[in-house]
Structure 1
Amino acid sequence: MDRLDALRLFVRTVQTGSFTRAGAEIGASQPQASRAVAALEARLGARLLLRSTRRLSPTEAGQRVYEQALTLLAEEEALIAAAAGADREPAGRLRVSASVVFGERVLAPLLTDFLERWPRVRVDVAATDARLDLVAEGIDLAFRLGALSDSALTTRRLGAYARLLVGTPATAARVEADPDLRGALAREGIGFTGTTSAARWRLTKGDEKMDVELAGRASSSNGAVVHRLAREGAGVALLPSFAAQACVAEGKLVRVATDWTGEPVDLHAVWTGRALPVRARAFLDHVAPRLRLDAA
């Protein structure tokens, strides 16, 4: 097995946590895959994997080699495409991560055209409001809303979405009839506990700012549940515009205190390594110009 094939096997072993699964992808048995990685460790003079009865995980040195290997393999793929005289057709399994609502409202409507354009790509959308470990979950490309915490990832800021207050007509009327808007929003606000600012909203109206300390009785770590709570009349939700406007257009919710908006939320594309695989680059190039962002 040459060095690139050994690195490719090592990368898939890290991503799957298993010699058996990684080896099966190239027609190798579990012992053959284990020996190939052991030979790579001997060649590099460093232990790359921690072996346990449940899962294989990278050592500190293994993590560094993994990240460099991703870049090297992506560059090899790009080099082959260039040698072919054109961008090689994207192919293979593409695993994309996004929040539940972003995946449903933004990515899903864009998938059909992408799949028609690139019939050899298979897309798996891992929709969750949890911040997945891209290495452990084998994620090629993730779309993340809000502040980023993992400085080891390569990032591309795509723009920002405004955040709008929404609720049922009855909820909106109740809030807007209260002379103490801050107090009404504090009582009615539905917290999204998937963020560090779950208990506080910062709202703006022109040059005015208003901080609202939430004291509502409903909250959730899942964005789809926050939407449902708002639709059921449990209170006011502060939603990114792509979600809020869709709910309003469907007649399920109305804008509340329309002069006030939340702080914009940034959208980033993130991935491991420096270069994206061809199929992930094609997906990002397809999605980015179709996002209908509110700010650059």
Structure 2
Amino acid sequence: MEPINLNRLVYFAAVVDAASFTRAADRLGITKAVVSQQVAALERELKTDLLVRTTRRVEPTEAGRLLHARCAAILREADSAMAELAQSNAAPMGLLRIAAPNDYGTYILAAIATAFSRTYPACRVDLVLADSRVDLIANQIDLSIRVGWLDDSTLQTRRIDSFRQLLVAAPGVVKRVAHPRDLAALPFIANAALSAPLAWQFARGDAERESVQMSQALTINTTPAVLAATVAGGGLAVLPDFLIRNDLAAGRLVHILPSWTLPSGGIHVVYPAARFRAPKVTAFAAMLMDAHKRMAAGAPKRPR
């Protein structure tokens, strides 16, 4: 088959949408003859009838309906690409509202937002930090950072990094622990922001699995406060590696059962569904992803 002239899809889709060559021509701002010629040429290229013409109406054939469903999506994507291209030349400006969990927002995002404000002084950044899920539409959020595991939704997402969960405690709080089953009797600081803060699944290699129900000593509803209580000696806690890297390096915390692992999670940028994004959103997302690439390459996990 010879290459198809994709420009003719515009004329064909317009005729199907309008159910008329005349109305399609009016919408496109050209003559009916040009529309008819282009559609006829498309039928010759495809060697199939796409439209049934009557005195009152134009209806697609079965082949025409199939093609229209596909080409409508193609044309929408083309429109979005052109809109994004036009927007990419505009300077980021205006209010940028970003939602994130307390821990990630405090230890990672605040520094990146500060750098973004310096780079784009026409932008104002509003960080909304909460461990509970924020409704992006109701709160007029431009983008959100979600740490962990995503639920199915209509939101647009992109995974930008991953993190490990580590079982830690202050030095001297926990004596010798040889196996996860030894943990059930020890004091544990539960993070109420999690759906099941006391139930943990440990793994070693491909074969060993151990489920543990921790013994609650404290319950706290923000992750940074869980960290503070853990450093103060309140008990064991499970915390993300990006939050405790400095405390582990300084010896304020120790990693318990390092040969066992807990489920790792993802760090995602989440956007409200939209045909294209404002320059302020794309610019911040690019800066955020660049920061995570530097972290992955060995730069400090906590930006300065």
Residue in 2 that maps onto 1:189: 188
Is the partner of 2:137 in helix, strand or coil?
Answer: helix
State the number of aligned residues: 216
Residue in 2 that maps onto 1:130: 132
Change (3 A) 1:124 1:75: farther
Q: Does 1:168 align with 2:170?
A: yes
Matches within 5 A, 1:47-126: 79=83, 82-83=85-86, 87-126=89-128
Residue in 2 that maps onto 1:143: 145
Letter in 2 for 1:124: D
Do the aligned residues in 2 keep the contact of 1:161 with 1:293 (CA within 8 Å)?
no
The alignment's TM-score, normalised by the length of structure 1, stands at 0.66
Do the aligned residues in 2 keep the contact of 1:160 with 1:293 (CA within 8 Å)?
no
Considering only CA atoms, is the larger Rg found in Structure 1 or Structure 2? 2
Residue in 2 that maps onto 1:232: 232
Change (3 A) 1:203 1:264: same
Is the partner of 1:263 in helix, strand or coil?
Answer: coil
Give the CA deviation at 1:290: 1.5
State the identity as a percent.
28
Do the aligned residues in 1 keep the contact of 2:186 with 2:236 (CA within 8 Å)?
no
Letter in 2 for 1:221: N
Quote the Cα distance in structure 1 between the aligned partners of 2:239 and 2:286.
26
Do the aligned residues in 2 keep the contact of 1:186 with 1:216 (CA within 8 Å)?
no
Letter in 2 for 1:258: P
**Unaligned stretches of 5+ residues in structure 2:** 1-75, 298-304
Give the CA deviation at 1:195: 2.0
Do the aligned residues in 2 keep the contact of 1:140 with 1:272 (CA within 8 Å)?
yes
Residue in 1 that maps onto 2:218: 218
Residue in 2 that maps onto 1:11: none
Residue in 2 that maps onto 1:289: 290
Letter in 2 for 1:144: R
**Unaligned stretches of 5+ residues in structure 1:** 1-70
Give the CA deviation at 1:137: 1.1
Quote the Cα distance in structure 1 between the aligned partners of 2:288 and 2:86.
27
1:121-155 CA-partner distances (Å, limit 9, x unpaired): 11111011010111111111000012223512111
Change (3 A) 1:293 1:166: farther
Is the partner of 1:217 in helix, strand or coil?
Answer: strand
Residue in 1 that maps onto 2:259: 259
Quote the Cα distance in structure 1 between the aligned partners of 2:273 and 2:110.
26
